[in-house]
Structure 1
Amino acid sequence: MIAAVLFDLDGTLLDHDGAAGDAIVRAFPDADAAWLVPRWTDLGEAAVERYLAGELDFTGQRRARIRALARELGLGTWDAARADAWFDGYTALYEAAWRPYPDVAPALAALAARGLPLGVITNGDVRQQRSKLEGLGLAERLPHLTASSEIGHAKPAAEIFHAACAGLALEPGAVAYVGDRLDTDARGAAAAGLTGVWLDRTGAPAPDGPDVARITALDALPRLLAD
């Protein structure tokens, strides 16, 4: 029996890509959005991977992103002060664009009505991720937050999943974990002994031989966990 449900944050509860895309277009309105948005996404993913691997600190991964983009836009080489100042402005635009996916509130309400503890496991800085939950109005509904910056391990490492379960005083087998990344989230959780659920918002045909449960919207989650 599932006794608690934990979620990924970015791409699962928060429309991170939508907010980031909106913010970067506002920051560089003269650039080609069709190139700018996916390029910013790629730079962000690469920088975050280095941050999670311990190669860069939180500020360093931010600087790496905008310095690379500035060079590609022909804006020259930016020093740390200019990069930090730009990122402060970008962050304000990004935060103003934060929105939960429409299926989040109904799914959380249905699970909470069953008395299930709810929370988040996220790769990232705990202060920023907590700020996101507060900005989305989800902090009270998802009080159990486990972030890689505090644990010292990032998904898909079993340690971060086990730390979250320990915080709930539950064995991994009693906890479900839902995320939008097949390997990092769903398979990582399953390998750690949790019930891993892949939230595939693309709606594309499922890959052959799925080894974890797959849903295309959070509306399906309460029914899945009741079966």
Structure 2
Amino acid sequence: MTLPLRAVIFDLDDTLFDDTSCTHAGLRALAAHSGLSVPPAELFARHAAHIRGIDPLLFRGELTAHAARVLRFTRLLTELGVPDPDGEAATVTYRGAYRAAWAPLPGAAGVLRDLRAAGLRLAVLTNYVRDVQAQKLAHFGLDALVDAVLCVEEVPAAKPDPRAYHAACAALDVTPGQAVMVGDSWEKDVQGARRAGLRAVWVNRDGQSGLDPDVPAISALADLPALLCLV
């Protein structure tokens, strides 16, 4: 028997916050400042690869968020052939454009308000550090609309480890069967949550296909409240 839904757990980046658009804005500024003529998709992919390589150092506390950025851009620009790259200057350039482009995904605040009004408990569960993620939530007042925020350094393990979702459920005082995870990552927000005993809704803004058709999906956050009546 499916338990009544009592809680909704959200991913942050590219679920409530438009991180992809902000990243592209930062990379455009970096490319212009550095004289690069790399196709945007390639630059984005190379940048993402360096994030994946450096994040473990950040998560283990070996680097601060700022130091991780400096290392990331030093490595990226070196890889792209920029002689003697200034990682500090590159960080300032990228970060300025990235911050200027900050935006929540359309409907984020309204959906959170509607779900709270319906009596659901809400959390954000993110695989990134609080130093960065708390700023995003506070900037748009989203922190005041959720009951708990769990960042990567505050859970026993990152998504898709079941312990991450169970920590979020514990913070909301619900069982996994009473919660649904909402996010854009098929692996981290859908598959991981389902293995941990939660329901899941996939934020599929790009219209991807070929994955499990039984998983509810939305292309816009505004569609979430109605869909939750069905999961």
Residue matched to 1:4: 7
Task: For structure 1, list consecutive stretches of 5 or more residues without a partner in the other structure.
Answer: none
Q: What are the superposed Cα offsets for residues 161-201 of structure 1, whole Å, 9 maximum, x if unpaired? A: 11111111111111111000111111111111111111100
Tell me, in whole angstroms, the C-alpha distance in 2 between the residues paired with 1:76 and 1:38. Answer: 23
- The equivalent position to 2:95 in structure 1, one of 91, 94, 118, is 91
CA distance in 1 between counterparts of 2:16 and 2:212 reads 26
Match of 2:20 among 5, 10, 17: 17
CA distance in 2 between partners of 1:210 and 1:53 (Å): 33
Q: Quote the residue 2:217 is aligned against.
A: 214
Output the CA distance in 2 between the equivalents of 1:148 and 1:174: 23
Count of residue pairs brought into register by the alignment: 221
Distance 1:71 1:53 in 2: 21
Structure 2 letter corresponding to 1:165: C
Is 1:158 aligned with 2:165?
no
TM-aligned CA distance change 1:114 to 1:220, over 3 Å = same
Which is further off, 97-106 or 190-199? 97-106
Q: Distance in 2 between matches of 1:28 and 1:127?
A: 26
Change (3 A) 1:136 1:199: same
Residue pair 1:177, 1:195 contacting (<8 A) in 2 also: yes
Q: Hey, what does 1:69 align to over in structure 2? A: 76
Relative to structure 1, is the Cα distance of residues 142 and 48 closer, same or farther in structure 2, using a 3 angstrom cutoff?
farther
1:184 match: 188
1:127 alignment partner AA: D
CA offset at residue 99 of structure 1? 0.4
Alignment of 1:46-125 (within 5 A): 46-54=49-57, 57=63, 58-59=65-66, 61-78=68-85, 82-125=86-129
The worse-fitting range, judged by mean Cα deviation, of 113-122 and 39-48 is 39-48
Mapped pair 1:135 → 2:139: yes
Distance 1:166 1:88 in 2: 38
Cα RMSD after superposing both structures? 2.2
Please give the secondary structure, in 2, of the residue aligned with 1:46.
helix
Q: Could you tell me whether the CA contact under 8 Å between 1:22 and 1:97 is conserved in 2? A: yes
Letter in 2 for 1:76: P
In the alignment, structure 2 segments of 5+ residues that lack a partner are none
Task: Supply the distance in 2 between the matched residues of 1:154 and 1:94 (Cα, whole angstroms).
Answer: 25
2:199 corresponds to: 195
- Give the TM-score taking structure 1 as reference length: 0.86
- 1:48: Cα distance to partner? 3.3
Question: CA contact under 8 A between 1:162 and 1:192: conserved in structure 2?
Answer: yes
